[in-house]
C-alpha cells in the first residue's frame, strides 16, 4: 500500500504548475481568478467543501485543492439565492488556493463573482468527481513528491534499475557504454533526477536537455539513441540497486564473500548497494551484469554467499564429528 500520504515539509507547487501538468491540463479549465494562479498548493490530497456551505469551516485547509462535486453542487442548487451566496462567500473567505467544480457544469454566477473578487482560481473539470479527484491526486503525488538530483549514471541492466555513482573520471560513463554494447539501456548520464513515488519506489530519469546523451572523455557527447537505436534508451526507471564505483586501492579491504547486505539511503528509503573497485583490465560490463543478476537472485530469496557459508559450516561440523569417533 502507498505510504507517502503527505508532501515533504516545505514542499509546495503553484496552481499554475498543476493546471499545466500533462493530463490535468486536458480536463481542467480555468474560468475565473486568473490572477491567483501563483497561489501555493502544499497537500497531495483534495478536500470536499460541502460542510462549508452550512457554516462549518473548521478543518478546511486553504492550501488543499477544494472540490465541489455533484453532491455539493446539487445542494447549492437547491438553496435559496441568499443562502447559496452566504455558503459560497464562506468558502472563498478562507482564501483557498484552488476551487474545482466537476462534471463540466457551468459554475453558479455567485461562484464566478466570488472567484473574480478574491482572485481565487476557479476551475471546471469535464470529468465526474471520482475521476477528477483521481487525476488531481495522481498529479499532486508527482508534483509534490520528494526529489533530488545526483551525479551518476542510471541504466536498465537485465531489468534492474542500476544507479552508478562514484567520483568524477572513475569510469561511470565508460561502464555505461560497455553495457549499451551488450544490449542494456541508458536512462540518464551525468545528472540523474530522482523522485520518491507514493508507492515507496524511487524513480530516476534524465533532464530533458541531457536525455539520450552520454559524455565520453576524448570523444565528447554522443547520442545513444542515434548510435544504438531506440531500444537502447528509456525515459525512466525505478532504482533497484546503487553501485558505487571507486578507484582500486590494494590496501582497502573489499567485500570478498557478499554476506552483508549494505544499504544506502536515498530520499528517506534504504536501497541495496555495492562498492566495486575499478582497475585496468577488469571487464566492468560483465561484473555489473553479474551484480544485476545476483541482485535478482537475492530478491527471489537465493543468496549464493549465505548458502555457501552454510554448506561450509555443515562440512566443518561433519568433519569434526568424524574425527571425534573412535575405531
Does residue 4 register a pLDDT over 60?
Answer: no
Let me know: does 194 contact 148? Beta carbons within 8 Å: yes
Q: Do domains 13-143 and 147-307 have the same CATH topology?
A: no
Q: Residue 326's pLDDT is what?
A: 54
* Whether the model pTM is above 0.75: yes
**Inter-axis angle of helices 81-92 and 70-78, nearest 10:** 140
State what percent of residues in the chain have pLDDT above 70.
94
- The sheet carrying 65-68 orders its strands as 28-32, 122-125, 98-101, 65-68, 47-48
Does residue 223 register a pLDDT over 60?
Answer: yes
The residue written with cell numbers 553479474 in the block is: 290
β partners of residue 191: 151
Q: When comparing pLDDT for 240 and 326, which is higher?
A: 240
Q: Residue 1's pLDDT is what?
A: 33
Nearest to 24 by CA among 33, 13, 35: 13
Least trusted range by pLDDT, from 89-93, 132-136, 278-282:
278-282
Does residue 314 register a pLDDT over 70?
Answer: yes
State what percent of residues in the chain have pLDDT above 90.
78
The structural domains of the chain, with segments of one domain joined by +, span: 13-143, 147-307
Does residue 10 register a pLDDT over 90?
Answer: no
- 167: cell is 567520483
138, 147, 190, 298: the catalytic one is 190
Chain-wide mean pLDDT for the chain? Answer: 92
58, 253, 256, 321: the catalytic one is 256
Least trusted range by pLDDT, from 7-16, 187-196, 259-268:
7-16
Does residue 260 register a pLDDT over 90?
Answer: no
Give the pLDDT confidence of 47-62 residue by residue, as tens digits. Answer: 997 889 988 888 899 9
Q: Residue 325's pLDDT is what?
A: 59
5, 151, 282, 311: the catalytic one is 151
Active site residue 237: no
Q: Greatest CA span in the chain, whole angstroms?
A: 107
pLDDT, mean of residues 145-163: 97
Active site residue 256: yes
Does residue 253 register a pLDDT over 90?
Answer: no
* CB-CB neighbours of 255 under 10 Å: 12
84, 85, 172, 184: the catalytic one is 172
Give the pLDDT confidence of 264-301 residue by residue, as tens digits. Answer: 999 999 999 999 999 988 999 999 999 999 999 999 99
For residue 230, which phi and psi values (nearest 5 degrees)? -65, -30
- 306: cell is 549465505
Give me the half-sphere count of Cα atoms (radius 13 Å) on the Cβ side of residue 191.
10
Q: Whole-angstrom Cα distance, residue 102 to residue 50?
A: 13
- 123: cell is 476551475
- CATH classification for the domain delimited by 147-307, as one of 3.40.50.150, 3.40.50.300, 2.40.40.20, 2.40.128.20: 3.40.50.300
Distance of CA 126 to the CA centre of its chain: 28
The most confident of the ranges 38-52, 147-161, 247-261 is 147-161
- 21: cell is 501538468
CATH architecture for residues 13-143 = 3-Layer(aba) Sandwich (3.40)
Question: Where on the phi/psi map is residue 161: left (φ > 0), alpha (ψ -120 to 50), or beta?
Answer: beta
Q: What is the DSSP letter of 1?
A: -
Q: Residue 8's pLDDT is what?
A: 65
pLDDT, mean of residues 232-258: 91
Alpha carbon dihedral 221, 248, 152, 144, in 10-degree steps, equals 180
Does residue 63 register a pLDDT over 80?
Answer: yes
Q: Residue 274's pLDDT is what?
A: 96
Amino acid at each position: 500500500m502507498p505510504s507517502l500520504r503527505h508532501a515533504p515539509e516545505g514542499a509546495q507547487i503553484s496552481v499554475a504548475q498543476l493546471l499545466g501538468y500533462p493530463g490535468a491540463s486536458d480536463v481542467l479549465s480555468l474560468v475565473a481568478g486568473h490572477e491567483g494562479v501563483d497561489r501555493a498548493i502544499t497537500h497531495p490530497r483534495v478536500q470536499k467543501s460541502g460542510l462549508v456551505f452550512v457554516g462549518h469551516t473548521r478543518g478546511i485547509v486553504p492550501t488543499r485543492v477544494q472540490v465541489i462535486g455533484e453532491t455539493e453542487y446539487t445542494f447549492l442548487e437547491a438553496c435559496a439565492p441568499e443562502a447559496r451566496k452566504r455558503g459560497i462567500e464562506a468558502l472563498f473567505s478562507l482564501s483557498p488556493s484552488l476551487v474545482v467544480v466537476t462534471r463540466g457544469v457551468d459554475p453558479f454566477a455567485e461562484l464566478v463573482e466570488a472567484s473574480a473578487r478574491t482572485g481565487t482560481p476557479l476551475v471546471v473539470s469535464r470529468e465526474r468527481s471520482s475521476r477528477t479527484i483521481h487525476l488531481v491526486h495522481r498529479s499532486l503525488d508527482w508534483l509534490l513528491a520528494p526529489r533530488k538530483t545526483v551525479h551518476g549514471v542510471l541504466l536498465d541492466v537485465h531489468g534492474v534499475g542500476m544507479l552508478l555513482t562514484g567520483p568524477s573520471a572513475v569510469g561511470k560513463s565508460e561502464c555505461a557504454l560497455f553495457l549499451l554494447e551488450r544490449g542494456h539501456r541508458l536512462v540518464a548520464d551525468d545528472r540523474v533526477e530522482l523522485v520518491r513515488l507514493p508507492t515507496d519506489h524511487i524513480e530516476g530519469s534524465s533532464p530533458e536537455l541531457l536525455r539520450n546523451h552520454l559524455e565520453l572523455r576524448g570523444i565528447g557527447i554522443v547520442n545513444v539513441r542515434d548510435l544504438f537505436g531506440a531500444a537502447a534508451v528509456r525515459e525512466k526507471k525505478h532504482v533497484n540497486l546503487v553501485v558505487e564505483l571507486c578507484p582500486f586501492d590494494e590496501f582497502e579491504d573489499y567485500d570478498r564473500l557478499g554476506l552483508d547486505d549494505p544499504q544506502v539511503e536515498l530520499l528517506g528509503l534504504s536501497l541495496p548497494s555495492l562498492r566495486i573497485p575499478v582497475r585496468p583490465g577488469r571487464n566492468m560490463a560483465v561484473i555489473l551484469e553479474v551484480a544485476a543478476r545476483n541482485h535478482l537472485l537475492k530478491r527471489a530469496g537465493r543468496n549464493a554467499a549465505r548458502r555457501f557459508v552454510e554448506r561450509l559450516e555443515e562440512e566443518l561440523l561433519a568433519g569434526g564429528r568424524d574425527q571425534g569417533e573412535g575405531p
